[in-house]
Structure 1
Amino acid sequence: MLNQMSILFIEDDLVETMKMHRTLEKLELNHTIHEAKNGEQALAFLKSTDRFPDIILLDLNMPKINGIEFLKILKDDDKIKYIPTIVLTTSHNRKDVLECYKVGIAGYIIKPLNYKDYVYKIDKLLAYWSVNELIKG
């Protein structure tokens, strides 16, 4: 049985945000999605909430604080550094992949252009994390 999760979705592209919501509806998943348009908004959310998300889905290419800068701030904070963070990006850049794993991500997924492939990847991603023993709090 899959557990319902709280997800912080950090994405500045409105189309990508709509695609994520459409995918969750299609998959009939009732996860709670908290949205942030950039790293600054995401950090403000994490500092203002009493209940941290179970996982973070993070785009890399964002204004203000990009994904890698956000990761470094996240992993430097003892209260939030253990939230599994999965990069969900269009970047195939090997340097980005290596830098993200070096900082301490839980996964790196390249967004496919084909919607059917996107739904498949999101389904597998969320199924995997919803059966994990996640840190609550």
Structure 2
Amino acid sequence: MSMESSTGHRLMNILIADDEARYRVMMGHLFEKWPEHQLTLAEDGNEAWTLLDDPKRWFDVVFLDLNMPKSGGLDVLRRLRESPLHKSVEPVICTASNDRETIKQAIALGVRHYIVKPWTEAQIADKLRQIAAKRAA
């Protein structure tokens, strides 16, 4: 059974991994508009991977900043792609990095969703709609 929120999004468990507190707070406020979604926040790539790899949790989507201490978004993305248990997690890169080499690395790791900061509510909503449509197909 597919459940949808009032915004038309299929309900999803979402992880936000960003070392900048202001972006985590902004995402938290944004998702208050879509309270049906389960939102989890991580401060860096190591914390994100610990949450992703916890067998008691599952995520549909992970928004990854690329430039984080300890372990960046590309490191987390590589781990996701190497793990058969995480093939269904849809990564969305959400970063200030928009240089050609970084974008090429993300694409090589199968990223289809790339948002350059500062993001807008419309961009986040659009990515969630795209992901929900893909999952429903």
2:80 is equivalent to residue 74 of structure 1: yes
Aligned equivalent of 1:55: 61
Retained in 2: the 8 A contact 1:75–1:82? no
Aligned equivalent of 2:26: 19
Aligned equivalent of 1:123: 125
Count of aligned pairs: 128
Aligned equivalent of 2:41: 35
| 1:100-111 alignment runs, 5 A limit | 100-111=106-117
What TM-score results when the alignment is normalised by the length of structure 2? 0.84
* Superposed displacement of residue 132, structure 1: 3.1
* Superposed displacement of residue 38, structure 1: 1.1
**Structure 1: gaps of 5 or more residues:** none
Retained in 1: the 8 A contact 2:9–2:128? no
RMSD: 1.6
* Superposed displacement of residue 51, structure 1: 3.6
User: Out of 75, 94, 98, which is 2:100 matched to?
Assistant: 94
What TM-score results when the alignment is normalised by the length of structure 1? 0.84
- Name which of structure 1's ranges 120-129 and 2-11 shifts more when overlaid on structure 2: 120-129
* Superposed displacement of residue 18, structure 1: 0.8
State percent identity of aligned pairs. Answer: 27
